[in-house]
Amino acid sequence: MLPRLLPRWPHALAPVLWLFLVLTGPAAAQLNLRVGSGGAFQPMPIAVADFAGDPSLAPLVSGIVANNLKRSGYFVPIDRARFPETPNFDAAPNFAAWKEAGAQGLVTGRVTRDASGGVKAEFRLWDVLSGQQMIGQQYAGGSGNSRRMGHLISDAVYTKITGIGGFFDTRVAFVDESGSKERRRKRLAIMDQDGANVRYLTSGEAAVVAPRYSPATQDITYMSQTTGQQPRVQVINLETGAREVIPTHAEMSTSPRFSPDGRRIVMSDQDGGNASIYVMDLASKAQTRITNANAIDTSPSFSPDGREIVFESDRGGQQQIYVMGADGSNPRRISFGDGSASQPAWSPRGDYIAFTRQRRGSFAICIMKPDGSGERVLTEGFHNEGPTWAPNGQYVMFFRDPGGQAGGKLYMVDVTGRVEQPVPTPSYASDPTWSPLLDAQR
C-alpha cells in the first residue's frame, strides 16, 4: 500500500512503501490490552529495544516508538537500564530474561540506509509471555521519512495489542498564539501529533480562529479576520498551498466544518441577531439553509456517515446541543443537566459526541452518546475548550487557558478520562483540529 502524503508540502516527505514481512508463522499470541471505562486499568509494561542499523537513524526511530507508546497512556516503556540484552533482530530474544526485566511485550527493530540514500525500517513485536512473534513489518522510503516510519511502527504495535486503530501517523492543525494578551498574533500552524515538524500556514496579519481539518482531503477550513473587518471563512489546500475565500451573503460566517467526504462545508451564517446553519457545496458554491429558528444556531458537525448534524443552539434559552438530519429535519435536544453545552464534535467512530460544558465557573470536556445518554466528564477545570477527535475515536484533544496574561496549551485525553497528556507546541496554542491518518487522505 502506498500512503498518500503531501508531495508538494514544504520539506515534503517522499512516499513510504508499506510491506509485510513473513518472518515467522502466525502465532496465537496472548498479549492483549483491554481498554474500557470500567474496572481497574494498568498500562502494559513494554520494552522498545534499541534498534540496530544506521547509528544516526535507528535511535531516532526507536525513540519515537517508545515516546508514542508512552504518550498513549496505555503502555509503560521499561527503562533501558533494565534491558537484559541487546537483541539480535534476526533471532528470537531471550524471553525469560525480558520477562524477568518486567516486560510483557518487546519491540525489536533495524533501520538501514542503502547507497542511494533510501531508508528501510523493520520491526518485530514479540509476546514475551508466550514467546511468540505477534507481527513483523517493514517500511521503505527516502531519508526524510524516518520520523514517519517511527509513527507507522507505533500505530502497528498499538493496534495489534489494543485492537484499536492507530493515531500516531497524523498531524494537528492549531492556532499558534504569541505576543501580549492585548496584541496577540494568531497564526494557523500544523505539526505532527507529537509536536514535531511545526509549519506556519499564515503570517499573522489576519487573526485565525477555529481551523477544521477535512476528514477526506488535504484541506483545512478556518475563519480569518483582519482588524476592522468581519471574519471570513477560508479554505487552504495543504498540497498546493492554494487559498480560497468562501463567498457568502451573510453579515458574518462562522464555525465552518467539512462533510465526511470533504465536498461540502457546513457553517453558521449570521444576519441580524440570529444565526442559521447552512450547507455549501464546494464545487458549485450553492448554499442550502437548513435551520431557521429565532435563535443562534452554530458549531455544526456532521456524523461520520453524513446523515446527521450535531449543533449548538440557544433556542431553548441557553446554549445546548441538538441533533438533526443533514437536511435540517427533526431537530431534537440531546444535552441536559447543569449548565450550558457547546462546541459539539462527532467522533469518527460515530459512538460519541464530544463537547464543552460550562457550569459554575468551570469548563469541562465531556462526551455523550448521540442520543444524549451516557454523559461523562473527561476533564474539568478553569477553562477547557475546543474538543477535536483523533481519527481512531479514542482520544480528544482540546486547549486549556489558565487566564491572565498567559495563553492556552494543548492537551489530549482518552475516552475513559484516565489518560491526560500535554501536547507540545512552540508557544501558546488554541483550537486544535486532528487530521485523519495520513494514508487515509485522498
Q: Which of 7-11, 90-94, 97-101, 318-322 has the lowest mean pLDDT?
A: 7-11
Rounded mean pLDDT, 118-131: 96
Min mean pLDDT across 118-127, 256-265, 298-307, 401-410 is at 401-410
- 116 pLDDT above the threshold of 60: yes
What are 413's three cell numbers? 485525553
Q: What is the pLDDT of residues 140-177, one digit of tens each?
A: 998 889 999 999 999 999 999 999 999 999 999 999 99
320: region left, alpha or beta (phi > 0 left; psi from -120 to 50 alpha): beta
Average pLDDT of the residues in 320-335: 98
395-400 sheet: strands from edge to edge: 384-389, 395-400, 409-414, 420-423
DSSP for 137-194 reads EEEEE-GGGHHHHHHHHHHHHHHHHH-S---SS-EEEEEEEES-STT-EEEEEEEETT
Query: What is the average per-residue pLDDT within 389-397?
Result: 98
pLDDT at 38: 59
Q: What is the mean pLDDT of residues 425-432?
A: 96
pLDDT single digits (tens) 215-248? 999 999 999 988 777 788 999 999 999 999 988 8
Q: What are phi and psi of 71, to 5 degrees?
A: -65, -25
- Across residues 37-58, what is the average pLDDT? 89
Average predicted confidence (pLDDT) for the chain: 90
The whole-number average pLDDT for the span 355-373 is 96
- pLDDT grade for 73, boundaries at 50, 70 and 90: very high
Average pLDDT in the 67-89 region? 96
Give the model's pLDDT for residue 231: 80
**What is the rounded CA–CA span in Å between residue 279 and residue 51?**
50
Least confident of 35-49, 163-177, 353-367, 416-430: 35-49
H/E segment holding residue 62: helix 58-72
> Quick check: 19 pLDDT over 50?
no
Decide which of 72 and 18 is more confident.
72
Q: In the prediction, which pLDDT does 30 show?
A: 63
Confidence of residue 212 (pLDDT cuts 50, 70, 90): very high
**320 falls in which pLDDT band (50, 70, 90)?**
very high
pLDDT of residue 46: 98
